[in-house]
């Protein structure tokens, strides 16, 4: 039978932002409820070696790290439910959400931590080689390609910034772009063209990602096609970084909350407060710049602290959440 869950603080998303918000809120006595969503653990569940999360001298596995996040949140008293929110009304008080399970969630306040997903090319070999030479985050994985040959696929600011970052680590960087000019800002282009270990292949698209032979397969080459001549060429690389943008998971909230043109939730500077009182946004869903686990966790902490303060100043005449129906 469908159930109705009531909570002072509802947290949507179970990545670093959502779990950190849950940890801080639970320790503050708010008894938060986390609805884990489609991908509990967020993007770290598809990340192998993690070397840049503070506190671990040796590389750790992304899925293991997220299990620790979950265990800590549960240990301090956060409720965690495996469900997917399919509908939500942010204008209602209490905020009312409906799960795929048929359950209803009523909350005084809300933290949106539904994250963002990297856009992928969708070519053969890409999914199988993700984490084995193929990545969508140079800041996360560039360290593993020191002194090696890498490709960056894309032509916007993200691609050029990724290439610039990698040029400080890799022996050489090749940017593969389907057009004959970048869409990136001019100053970024100038910096890129000034790097001696960077080259650009114009009017090329990646058709397939090719793996090494043997039991432990990894990227060995990209099969590219010249969009003008149709010529096919296999180019050897140790790593490939897909940089064609990210999509924040905000479709559920469209038309109900302030967003930018790309669907990222807008928050006040230096805060996680959104355009709706009592609704906070944390992690990649509102961060189009850094998109790191540690920064997501930081904003999760901020969201919980701001939610606690907001709840403490609710009007005295507001009914207790247990009485809401």
DSSP state string for 287-311: -SS---HHHHHHHHHHHHHHHHHHH
Say if CB 150 and CB 222 are below 8 A apart.
Answer: no
Mean pLDDT of 91-102: 95
**59 confidence band (pLDDT: 50, 70, 90):** confident
Q: What is the model's pLDDT at position 46?
A: 62
Q: What is the model's pLDDT at position 47?
A: 65
**317 confidence band (pLDDT: 50, 70, 90):** very low
Percent of the chain at pLDDT exceeding 90: 78
- Is 137 known to be catalytic? yes
**264 confidence band (pLDDT: 50, 70, 90):** very high
Positions of E strands within the chain: 4-12, 33-35, 49-50, 60-61, 79-81, 85-89, 95-99, 104-112, 116-118, 134-135, 149-153, 172-176, 198-201, 204-211, 219-226, 232-236, 239-242, 246-248, 279-281
For the chain, the average pLDDT equals 92
What confidence tens digit (pLDDT) does each residue in 114-144 have? 998 888 999 999 999 998 999 998 888 899 9
Say if CB 62 and CB 44 are below 8 A apart.
Answer: yes
Which pTM was predicted?
A: 0.76
Percent of the chain at pLDDT exceeding 70: 95
State the catalytic residue, choosing from 83, 141, 284, 287. Answer: 141
- Is 141 known to be catalytic? yes
Mean pLDDT of 52-74: 92
Least confident of 49-53, 164-168, 253-257: 49-53
Q: Which two tokens stand for residue 281?
A: 């946004």
State the catalytic residue, choosing from 83, 89, 103, 137. Answer: 137
Q: What is the model's pLDDT at position 158?
A: 84
**291 confidence band (pLDDT: 50, 70, 90):** confident
Q: Which of 290, 289, 271, 291 minimizes the C-alpha distance to 279?
A: 271
**Residue 171 reports pLDDT greater than 60:** yes
- Is 301 known to be catalytic? no
What confidence tens digit (pLDDT) does each residue in 40-53 have? 777 777 666 788 89
Least confident of 37-46, 151-160, 280-289: 37-46
Say if CB 150 and CB 239 are below 8 A apart.
Answer: yes
Q: What is the model's pLDDT at position 315?
A: 62
State the catalytic residue, choosing from 140, 238, 284, 287. Answer: 140
Q: What is the model's pLDDT at position 42?
A: 73
């Amino acid at each position: 039978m469908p159930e109705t869950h009531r909570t002072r603080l509802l947290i949507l998303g179970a990545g670093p932002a959502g779990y950190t918000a849950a940890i801080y809120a639970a320790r503050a006595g708010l008894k938060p409820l986390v609805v884990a969503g489609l991908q509990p653990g967020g993007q770290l569940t598809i990340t192998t070696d993690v070397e840049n999360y503070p506190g671990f001298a040796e590389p750790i596995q992304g899925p293991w790290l997220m299990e620790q996040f979950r265990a800590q949140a549960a240990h301090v008293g956060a409720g965690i439910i495996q469900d997917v929110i399919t509908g939500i009304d942010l204008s209602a008080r209490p905020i009312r959400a409906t799960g795929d399970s048929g359950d209803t969630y009523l909350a005084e306040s809300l933290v949106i931590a539904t994250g963002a997903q990297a856009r992928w090319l969708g070519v053969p070999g890409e999914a199988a080689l993700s984490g084995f030479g193929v990545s969508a985050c140079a800041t996360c994985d560039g360290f593993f390609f020191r002194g090696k040959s890498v490709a960056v696929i894309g032509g916007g600011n993200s691609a050029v910034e990724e290439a610039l970052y990698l040029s400080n680590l890799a022996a050489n960087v090749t940017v593969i772009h389907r057009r004959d000019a970048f869409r990136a800002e001019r100053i970024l282009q100038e910096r890129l063209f000034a790097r001696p270990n960077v080259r650009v292949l114009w009017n090329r698209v990646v058709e397939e990602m090719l793996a090494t032979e043997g039991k432990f397969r990894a990227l060995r080459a990209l099969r590219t096609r010249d969009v003008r001549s149709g010529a096919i060429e296999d180019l050897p690389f140790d790593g490939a970084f897909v940089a064609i943008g990210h999509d924040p998971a905000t479709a559920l909230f469209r038309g109900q909350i302030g967003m930018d043109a790309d669907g990222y939730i807008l928050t006040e500077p230096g805060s996680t407060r959104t355009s709706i009182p009592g609704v906070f946004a944390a992690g990649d869903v509102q961060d189009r710049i850094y998109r790191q686990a540690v920064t997501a966790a930081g904003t999760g902490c901020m969201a919980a602290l701001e939610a606690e303060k907001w709840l403490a100043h609710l009007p005295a005449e507001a009914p207790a959440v247990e009485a809401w129906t």
